[in-house]
Amino acid sequence: MKTIFIFLLMFVFAVSIFAEWKKEQGMKYNKLTKEEEQVIINKGTEEPFSGKYANNKEKGMYTCKRCDAPLFRSDDKFDSFCGWPSFDDEITGAVKRVPDADGMRTEILCANCGAHLGHVFEGEGFTAKNIRHCVNSISMNFIPADNAKTEKAYFAGGCFWGVEYYFQNKDGVLSTTVGYMGDYVKKPTYEQVCSGKTGLVESIEVEYDPEKINYEELAKLFFEIHDPTQEDGQGNDIGEQYLSMMFFIDSGQKRIAEKLIKILESKGYKIATKIEKKSNFWEAEDYHQDYYIKNGGTPYCHVYTKRF
């Protein structure tokens, strides 16, 4: 009986390894040099201060050397003087954490292809987020901001925690930021906006890859994760700061927003969503960013409802 049990364990392990191999064969990976394989595949570490991105100050995006998946933004990079690039945040869903083989550290991998990136540390106090992703330069490529193929969209649909939750889980979305839209108060605080007397609206900035998802798909998602017919807020969140709104950057986004509203109205919905040109977007306090990722759970006031 013991022999049979061991055999079954070995068989299951072999099947899982084969399945992972088949998965990898279906992905198109970039060709790596021997030095890159040593770090990315064999989980090695480049010498400190030897990587070309350790002191890089340019604006842009860092992507996986093996599969080109977006990993980190330059806005989240900081000087830790450790000899390797350091980031206090990652693009949502881009990095996977696993216990390191040494039993003490936490390894970080590209969530898309499993490439070894480095390690993550918490509690060091370098930044307000108190997190350091210590990454090998050789595991990444860098795309300057001028060359990055990204676009942005802005929406407001009640409590920005719930709106962000759904956009973060959409393929093609690179990053999300919650904040307040409006010109009436400069650098507003959450308490000011909650008063309902600022004229500002809880909003979200969505940065996305136009080669993977377009504005119309994002706008359709927006209409399906909140109630666009409610005129005074969302659910129990009542007030001008919780209104349903779309903020267009250009005439193309405006036309798409107007088209989708007409489609919904033809289906019998009385749409309350307002369409306005984007004004100042003020980033909300750090404790509001990635709320459900940090605190767990799911939105209580946003539910997905198919409308298109």
pLDDT by residue (tens digit) across 208-238?
Answer: 989 889 999 999 999 999 999 999 999 999 9
- CATH number of 100's domain: 2.170.150.20
Residue 7, domain member (yes or no): no
Distance between CA 219 and CA 228 in Å, rounded?
A: 12
Strand partners, 120: 106, 133
User: Is residue 103 located within the same domain as residue 132?
Assistant: yes
CA 246 to chain centre: 20
Residue 307, domain member (yes or no): no
Distance between CA 173 and CA 299 in Å, rounded?
A: 19
User: Is it the case that residue 4 has pLDDT exceeding 70?
Assistant: no
User: Is it the case that residue 186 has pLDDT exceeding 80?
Assistant: yes
Residue 22, domain member (yes or no): no
User: Is residue 286 located within the same domain as residue 167?
Assistant: yes
Supply the mean pLDDT for the chain.
Answer: 90
Domain final residue, candidates 97, 119, 144: 144
301 belongs to the catalytic site:
no
The pLDDT score that the predictor gives to residue 149 is 79
User: Is it the case that residue 93 has pLDDT exceeding 90?
Assistant: no
Contacts of 41 (CB under 8 A, 6+ apart): 32, 115, 116
Residue 305, domain member (yes or no): no
Residue 16, domain member (yes or no): no
User: Is it the case that residue 20 has pLDDT exceeding 80?
Assistant: no
User: Is it the case that residue 297 has pLDDT exceeding 50?
Assistant: yes
64, 110, 113, 159: the catalytic one is 159
Task: Give the domain extent around 225.
Answer: 151-295
User: Is residue 93 located within the same domain as residue 157?
Assistant: no
- CATH number of 249's domain: 3.30.1060.10
113, 134, 194, 301: the catalytic one is 134
State the DSSP H helix or E strand holding residue 294, giving kind and residue range, or none if neither: helix 291-295
State the DSSP H helix or E strand holding residue 221, giving kind and residue range, or none if neither: helix 215-224
User: Is residue 113 located within the same domain as residue 164?
Assistant: no
Lowest mean pLDDT of 35-49, 81-95, 233-247, 258-272, name the range: 81-95
Report the amino acid identity of residue 226: H
- Mode of pairing for the β-strands spanning 173-181 and 274-277: unpaired
Q: Is 297 left (phi over 0), alpha (psi -120 to 50) or beta?
A: left
Distance between CA 136 and CA 3 in Å, rounded?
A: 43
User: Is residue 191 located within the same domain as residue 95?
Assistant: no
User: Is it the case that residue 6 has pLDDT exceeding 60?
Assistant: no
Q: How would residue 120 be classed by pLDDT, with cut points 50, 70 and 90?
A: very high
Phi first, then psi: give them for residue 224, nearest 5 degrees.
-100, 0
User: Is residue 116 located within the same domain as residue 165?
Assistant: no
Q: How would residue 23 be classed by pLDDT, with cut points 50, 70 and 90?
A: very low
Residue 12, domain member (yes or no): no
Residue 177, domain member (yes or no): yes
Q: For residue 123, give the nearest of 109, 135, 106, 108 by alpha carbon.
A: 106
Domain final residue, candidates 144, 174, 203: 144
User: Is residue 182 located within the same domain as residue 120?
Assistant: no
Distance between CA 65 and CA 29 in Å, rounded?
A: 9
User: Is residue 185 located within the same domain as residue 91?
Assistant: no
Neighbours of 297 (CB within 10 A): 9
User: Is it the case that residue 1 has pLDDT exceeding 60?
Assistant: no
Do 66 and 32 meet the contact criterion of CB atoms below 8 Å apart? yes
* pLDDT average, residue stretch 166-190: 93
User: Is residue 158 located within the same domain as residue 290?
Assistant: yes
User: Is residue 230 located within the same domain as residue 288?
Assistant: yes
Distance between CA 104 and CA 83 in Å, rounded?
A: 20
Distance between CA 225 and CA 298 in Å, rounded?
A: 13
* pLDDT average, residue stretch 155-164: 97
User: Is it the case that residue 14 has pLDDT exceeding 50?
Assistant: no
User: Is it the case that residue 5 has pLDDT exceeding 60?
Assistant: no
Domain final residue, candidates 144, 176, 200: 144
Q: Indicate yes or no: pTM above 0.85.
A: no
Q: How large is the C-alpha radius of gyration of the chain?
A: 22
110 belongs to the catalytic site:
no
User: Is it the case that residue 66 has pLDDT exceeding 90?
Assistant: yes
User: Is residue 72 located within the same domain as residue 87?
Assistant: yes
Residue 271, domain member (yes or no): yes
How many structural domains compose the chain? 2
CA 226 to chain centre: 20
* pLDDT average, residue stretch 49-59: 94
Which pair of tokens denotes residue 184? 């009436």
Neighbours of 168 (CB within 10 A): 18
* pLDDT average, residue stretch 134-145: 95
User: Is residue 120 located within the same domain as residue 167?
Assistant: no
At 159, is the secondary structure helix, strand, or coil? coil
* pLDDT average, residue stretch 153-172: 95
In the sheet with 95-99, reading across from the earlier edge strand, the strands are 77-78, 86-87, 131-135, 116-122, 106-110, 95-99
Report the amino acid identity of residue 114: G
More confident of the two residues 26 and 56? 56
The pLDDT score that the predictor gives to residue 91 is 86
List own/partner pairs for 265-268 with CB under 8 A and 24 or more apart.
267/307
